[in-house]
């Protein structure tokens, strides 16, 4: 699940950066990329960063221009948060 969060976060962020939507979309995409890169090492932080950047992108970018990018970021954030449960169960089983 963490890998899925990483991939979806990268897709949404890169798409948001190069879609030509303006400075706010680029800023939210950079936050999303930071979250995506954290998906493997700190999935909780990554999940919240991607969810927040996707939701703020929906709010602050005009119209529905950030719609699909936001969907990818929020979905990646949810998968990263689910990935933390997987990480917790595997470390508990190894002990």
- Over the stretch 57-93, which tens digit does the pLDDT of each residue have? 999 998 788 999 999 999 999 999 998 877 777 666 6
DSSP 8-state symbol, 55: H
**Tokens for 13?**
């962020």
User: Which residues, at least 6 apart from 27, have a Cβ–Cβ distance to it below 8 Å?
Assistant: none
3-state secondary structure of 19: coil
The Cα 50–Cα 71 span in angstroms is 10
Q: What is the pTM of this model?
A: 0.88
What Å distances lie between residue 26 and 19, 54, 56, CA to CA?
9, 12, 12
**Tokens for 72?**
């990818």
In percent, the amount of the chain with pLDDT more than 90 equals 67
């Amino acid at each position: 699940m963490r890998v899925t969060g990483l991939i979806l976060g990268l897709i949404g962020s890169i798409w948001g950066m190069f879609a030509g939507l303006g400075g706010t979309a680029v800023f939210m995409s950079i936050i999303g990329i930071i979250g995506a890169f954290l998906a493997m090492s700190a999935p909780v932080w990554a999940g919240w960063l991607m969810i927040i950047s996707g939701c703020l992108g929906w709010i602050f970018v005009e119209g529905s221009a950030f719609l699909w990018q936001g969907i990818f970021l929020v979905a990646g954030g949810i998968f990263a948060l689910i990935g933390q449960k997987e990480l917790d169960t595997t470390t508990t089983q190894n002990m």
